[in-house]
Amino acid sequence: MSDKLVVVGNPSLVGHLPEVVIPPDVEAMTPDELEAGIKRLKTERNAVILAHYYQESEIQDLADFVGDSLQLSQAAAKTKADVIVFCGVHFMAETAKILNPDKIVVIPDLKAGCSLADGCPAPVFEKWLEQYPGHTVVTYINCSAGVKALSDVICTSSNAVKIVKALEGQKIVFAPDRYLGAFVAKQANRPDMVKWEGSCIVHETFSEKRLIELMVKNPDAEVIAHPECHEGILRHAAHVASTSGLIDYAKTSPKQTFIVATEAGILHKMQQAAPGKTLIPAPPEDEICACNLCPHMRRNTLEKLYLCMRDLTPQIEVPEAIRVKALKPIERMLEMSV
């Protein structure tokens, strides 16, 4: 990969991006050597490693901070490190760069996108918004900087209901996740909320039929779900929350067994938080696929993490004019989340 390669906006819309090539010297390293190298580079570069709960467990274990999208934005907003190493997907690293224009932000694999962000290109979104003058644009953080720049306030799965409730009396457009949008509209009693019809490829694949079969086999289990799931899953859930909210629930609930309807990477920290409890991943439609693993999140590997810290590439860049516009709704979200 070229040292100069940067992507502005949405990886899927930038055309063909090369795969990260792991050089033979890195390929020859053992996991222990990679781990030691990452720890050494962290000190040498005064870097902080931020990781999402959907990353591979060995990446989560090396991170300085593991969290949900809101917690990761909050951690990025207050870090004193010179380099932010973002183990997550592109929009998360891009948010960190918007908050820290003077810091270097690297991501192990620039091609780690997100189906929600990919399904809402900024120029199309801008045109679509013309139909809704006078509406407050509430946008889920899973979107590009260009879409954030067109928004009034950003939200995540952990604060979306709170933010929409705070906008009482205002007409609202919600994008880009239709399932989160439907959940929020119900919780905040805003059936009039206009929704962009995007979805997450991972949460969309959970099967209601197979979930019911699993519930019958495990009658004492409680279903817990991420609000990106469709209604067929959410209607069975005892608790619906962000990734960190689901972990907290599994830890504090008196129940012993949970069927967990979100990306399976969450089980690593959830099991640590709730030792001794039984965690069963919710089943996708197709019995043999690994559809409950996000293919974008899984692009990041230990080798790519080591490489991006060694070479300080690929870096996230955001054009200043877009960054300044995108910063405002992110800051508004951070203010509304305290």
Which residues in this chain contact ligand 13P in the complex, by CB under 6 A?
68-69, 142, 156-157, 200, 226, 228, 242-243
Choose the contact partner of 201 out of ligand SF4, ligand 13P, none; CB within 5 to 8 A by kind. Answer: ligand SF4
Choose the contact partner of 296 out of ligand SF4, ligand 13P, none; CB within 5 to 8 A by kind. Answer: ligand SF4
244: tokens are: 């960190």
Lay out the site mask for ligand SF4 across 179-218 (x = CB under 6 A, - = otherwise): ---------------------xxx----------------
Nearer of residues 13 and 201 to ligand SF4, judged by Cβ: 201
Within positions 123 to 162, which residues make up the interface with ligand SF4, using CB under 6 A? Answer: 142
Cβ pair 154, 329 in contact under 8 A? yes
CB atoms within 10 A of CB 218: 15
Q: Does 114 bind ligand SF4 (CB under 6 A)?
A: yes
Residue 284 DSSP SS3: strand
Dihedral sign, Cα of residue 183, residue 176, residue 140, residue 171 = negative
Contacting residue, 297, 318, 322, 327, with ligand SF4 by CB under 6 A = 297
Short-list 92, 115, 117, 85, CA closest to 315: 85
Cβ pair 31, 302 in contact under 8 A? yes
Q: How far is the CB of 125 from ligand SF4 (least distance, A)?
A: 17
Q: How far is the CB of 204 from ligand SF4 (least distance, A)?
A: 9
Cβ pair 54, 90 in contact under 8 A? no
Choose the contact partner of 69 out of ligand SF4, ligand 13P, none; CB within 5 to 8 A by kind. Answer: ligand 13P
Distances, alpha carbon 203 to alpha carbons 115, 195, 199, 253, 264, in Å: 11, 18, 8, 23, 11
Residue 206 DSSP SS3: strand
Nearer of residues 20 and 297 to ligand SF4, judged by Cβ: 297
Nearer of residues 41 and 294 to ligand SF4, judged by Cβ: 294
Peptide bond into 314 cis (omega under 30): yes
Tell me how long the chain is.
338
Cβ pair 143, 44 in contact under 8 A? no
Q: How far is the CB of 113 from ligand SF4 (least distance, A)?
A: 8
The stretch among 9-17, 109-117, 184-192, 318-326 that binds ligand SF4 (CB under 6 A) is 109-117
Q: What are phi and psi of 97, to 5 degrees?
A: -70, -40
Q: Does 296 bind ligand SF4 (CB under 6 A)?
A: yes
Block residue for tokens 């079969």: 213
Choose the contact partner of 68 out of ligand SF4, ligand 13P, none; CB within 5 to 8 A by kind. Answer: ligand 13P
Nearer of residues 34 and 297 to ligand 13P, judged by Cβ: 297
Question: Contact positions toward ligand SF4, by CB under 6 A?
Answer: 89, 114-116, 142, 200-202, 228, 263, 294, 296-297
